[in-house]
Structure 1
Amino acid sequence: MGRRRFIRTTGAAGLALLAGCSAEQTGSPTSGPERSATDSTGTVTGTPGGRDTLVVATYSSFIDAVSTSPGGWIKENFEAEFDADLVWQTPPNELNQYIQRANAGVDIDADVFVGLNVDGLIRLDENLDGDSLFAEAPSLDGAANVKDGLGFDPQGRAVPFDTGYISLVWNATADGGEFTAPETFDGLLDAEFEGDLLAQNPASSATGRAFLLHSIKAKGTDGYLDYWSQLQDNGVRVLDSWDSAYSAYGTDEAPMVVSYSTDQVYANRAGQDMDRHRIRFLNDQGYANPEGMAQFAGTDSPDLARSFMEFMLRPEVQGQIAVRNVAFPAVTNAEFGEENAEYEQYAQVPPEAVSFTYDELKGDVQGWIEDWSRQIAGN
């Protein structure tokens, strides 16, 4: 998953949004190819014409990132092949918006959601009243090629379409070129690395939450708070977002930052010094954050929605999504092409990918974050 994706806040902040906002009635959609894709609470990209229309909800940077994003390419190529209009819908509250509308009994004028993760599904299942927002995924051509271990929905609604890995990014030019990042979680506690790490608050940053979860994987639920206390004693600096932490890293406030193993892809595109963008997988592991897509249960275009999901899993499309979203493909047979050889060179895959399952997180992740906030952020 592209690192800009992780700037968004979820968890406790997302639940606050869910509790504090009411859905706005925007009217029921009409049926058929002329139905409107307009939603007064979100941005809509693309204008439906006289053809069949597929409305796909996603996060804004998937279609309009400053650097690169896959939305425009997907729209152009899907429309050309299927003789249909693809309309992107990007409400500011993302998944929360649809949970609110469903709970308020307001019609949802969207067919597919692109950008689900395990945290979002847990939030959905804990806060949705009544029937499921998403349908069980249909049988899809290409689904058999999804990498083992990326599936994160035990109910079979979400189909992975890309993934990303949390890592450290470190600056080998620091300390006159003598700096080398530690190789393990325990190594971060060494006195020589005092004040050298920038991280993110797991209550307000998905990057920080993933790093916290990785530390729980490494130290266990009984040991992670003690570990963070030691990390705090060693001068870790915790900022609210990936953006603020990475900006501080970019101005040499510290030689290490929690970020993503695709960091060198950005650095290469910008012509930056790769020694300032080294990747370190602590304990030879990267915490995996797959993204999925799902069909809204109330779609009136199930066949077109299925075609779109199958399109997203094609080898050549998977390659384009990975390159343009600065992520990794969800399938084993992605095709990058010679024009993207540099991407394959600079996007680094960890020796071992680790993550918590839906069942392991449900009912516990919020408590882990709250305990961390009381003990670490409160000090």
Structure 2
Amino acid sequence: MTSTTTRHRLGPRRRAAGAAAATAVAALVLAGCSLTGGDGGGAADDASGTGGTADGGGKLTVVTHDSFALSQELLDQFEADTGYQLEMVAPGDGGALVNQLVLTKDSPLGDVVHGIDNSFAARAIDAGVLEPYTPADLPASAGQYAADDAGSLTPVDMGDVCLNVDHQWFTENGVPEPTSLEDLTDPAYKDLLVVTNPATSSPGLSFLLATVGAFGEDGWQQYWEDLKANGVKVVEGWSDAYYVDFSGSEGAGPRPIVLSYASSPAAEVPEGGGEPRTGAMLDTCFRQVEYAGVLAGAENPEGARAFVDFLLSPEVQADIPGQMYMYPVDDTVELPEAWARHAPLAEEPFAVDPATISANREDWISTWSEIVIG
């Protein structure tokens, strides 16, 4: 796997934490539930233009990042309910996704997008690539994640990008586990940390933003100079960091501290149960929110709105943890049992205003590169 945003989807074993949710979703689908609201007609019945027909047929093109995943039963049910034929387009990770949407604004890649996150949301909105739409059934708990007041984007899922530690390594080596960002500059943790490049990795950018939130716009640079002096390793993507350099998952890497997600330990629960050998450092997190939206100039805007509604349906929201290892924005959805024990969200994640991110992102990445890469 080369995706920079892949989240524990390298086989059924890593989806075990979401198996109960997926089973429940499959049962609902097989029972013939509509996943688009009402009687399954709705927006599809009004579709027109080259992308859709009045009776709900036609193509619906979904543009997303390369970590998008939902149970096939749900996608099949959406097609059955609406008459649309889904076509997925994945130009890359979250950053590449927004870049492509901006570059193709005058000839959109598709009708609806999923996967723009809060580190790139302002750029997409300012570029005018979105047609505002607010679903009628937007969960109350999703309102706090609104990207703007116009409803340009709809929150769909969220999660915390955090450092993870290998409990077993620290126990065997008699070293106390770090608990804060400041700890990582201590010589006791020299050459123990691996992170990802914010220029090529969405988690890497989120971690850079966590340090901006923690140390301020004038203080994060010194923190990274200290990390570099303490032997931080930087790799291009999450998969290399987690499965090659980290000691806690496959157990092959030399570094016991890795940049990942708060949900990652739930993927490390041994088959048959027990405690994972990893844990998240919940005082190092940045909250990542992923959005969906209708693309301006879409050939099938009615179908696009129907797909946004679909992403907020209880069945899809329940499917997200097991498929994308993110939290649903609907907090009434029951989470997999392993998540309650091993994947808690941070109580006080670091935050940076989206407008500030949009105004400074490229400069911050350039400065980071000069400091850390040289």
Structure 1 SS opposite 2:142: coil
* In structure 1, C-alpha distance between the alignment counterparts of 2:342 and 2:82, rounded to whole Å: 34
For residues 269 and 302 of structure 1, the distance between their equivalents in structure 2, rounded to whole angstroms, comes to 45
Aligned to 1:189: 185
What pairs with 1:262-281 in structure 2 (closer than 5 Å)? 262-268=263-269, 274-281=275-282
Contact 1:172 1:180 in 2 (8 A): no
> Aligned residue for 1:120?
120
CA RMSD of aligned residues (A): 3.0
Question: How much has 1:320 moved relative to structure 2?
Answer: 0.8
Query: Deviations 1:109-143 (Å, cap 9, x if unpaired)?
Result: 622111111333344457x4xxx2210114x1321
Tell me if structure 1 keeps the 8 A contact 2:70–2:316: no
Identify the match of residue 100 of structure 2 among 97, 100, 103.
97
Distance 2:112 2:332 in 1: 24
SS of the residue 2:113 aligns to: strand
In structure 2, distance between residues paired with 1:374 and 1:278: 31
Counterpart contact for 2:110–2:298, Cα < 8 Å: yes
Give the unaligned 5+ runs of structure 2: 8-47
Q: Name the counterpart of 1:76.
A: 76
Secondary structure of the structure 2 residue equivalent to 1:156 = coil
* Distance 1:97-1:229 versus aligned 2 partners, 3 A rule: closer
The 5-angstrom pairing of residues 112-261 of structure 1 reads 112-124=112-124, 128=127, 132-138=128-134, 140-153=135-148, 155-175=150-170, 176=172, 178-246=174-242, 247-250=244-247, 251-261=252-262
Indicate conservation of the 8 Å contact 2:163/2:257, yes or no.
yes
Contact 2:101 2:109 in 1 (8 A): no
Number of the residue aligned with 2:337: 341
- Establish whether residue 295 from structure 1 lines up as the match of residue 294 from structure 2: yes
- Distance of 2:4 and 2:273 partners within structure 1: 22
Once residues 56 and 71 of structure 1 are traced to their aligned partners in structure 2, the CA distance between those partners, rounded to angstroms, is 15
CA distance in 2, matches of 1:6, 1:86: 23
Any residues of structure 2 matched to 1:323-338 within 5 Å, and which?
323-336=322-335
Bigger Cα displacement from structure 2, 88-97 vs 74-83: 88-97
Counterparts in 2 of 1:50 and 1:352: CA distance versus 1, 3 Å = closer
Could you tell which deviates more after superposition, 222-231 or 271-280? 271-280
Distance 1:71 1:294 in 2: 21
Report the TM-score, using the length of structure 2 for normalisation.
0.77
Deviations 1:82-128, CA, capped at 9 Å, x for gaps? 343233223455343332233xx43x3622111111333344457x4
* Matches of 2:255 and 2:133, distance apart in 1: 45
Match of 1:373 among 357, 364, 369: 369
- Give 2:29's aligned residue: none
Greater displacement, 362-371 / 50-59: 50-59
| Cα pair distance change 1:100/1:147, threshold 3 Å | closer
Q: Which amino acid aligns with 1:136?
A: P
Give the AA of the match of 1:346.
Answer: H
- Give the secondary-structure state (helix, strand or coil) at the position aligned to 1:364: helix
Moved more, 110-119 or 210-219: 110-119
What TM-score do you get using the length of structure 1 for normalisation?
Answer: 0.76
- Per-residue deviation, residues 35-68 of structure 1 (Å, max 9, x unmatched): xxxxxxxxxxxxxx99243221112331xxxxxx
Instruction: Report how many aligned residue pairs link the two structures.
Output: 324
State the alpha-carbon separation in 1 of the partners of residues 315 and 176 from structure 2.
Answer: 38
CA shift in 2, pair 1:237/1:270, >3 Å: farther
> Matched residues in 2 for 1:375 and 1:90: separation?
32
Q: Greater shift after overlay, 174-183 or 162-171?
A: 174-183
Rounded to whole Å, the distance in 2 between the matches of 1:286 and 1:142 is 30
Give the deviation of 1:154 after TM superposition.
Answer: 5.1
Partner Cα distance (1:197, 1:356) in 2: 24
Distance 1:345-1:272 versus aligned 2 partners, 3 A rule: closer
In 1, Cα distance between the equivalents of 2:337 and 2:282? 23
CA distance in 2, matches of 1:137, 1:223: 38
Paired position in structure 1 for 2:317: 318
User: SS state of the match for residue 151, structure 2?
Assistant: coil
Q: Which residue of 1 aligns with 2:35?
A: none
The aligned counterpart of 2:63 is 57
SS of the equivalent of 1:142 reads: coil
The answer to whether the 8 A contact 1:171-1:179 is kept is no
Q: Please say if residues 319 and 329 of structure 1, whose CA atoms lie closer than 8 Å, have aligned partners that are also in contact.
A: yes
Deviation per residue, 1:314-372 (Å, 9 max, x gap): 23321112221111011222244xxx333443322112233222212121121122112
**What is the distance in 1 between the residues matched to 2:313 and 2:372?**
44
- Matched with 1:31 is 50
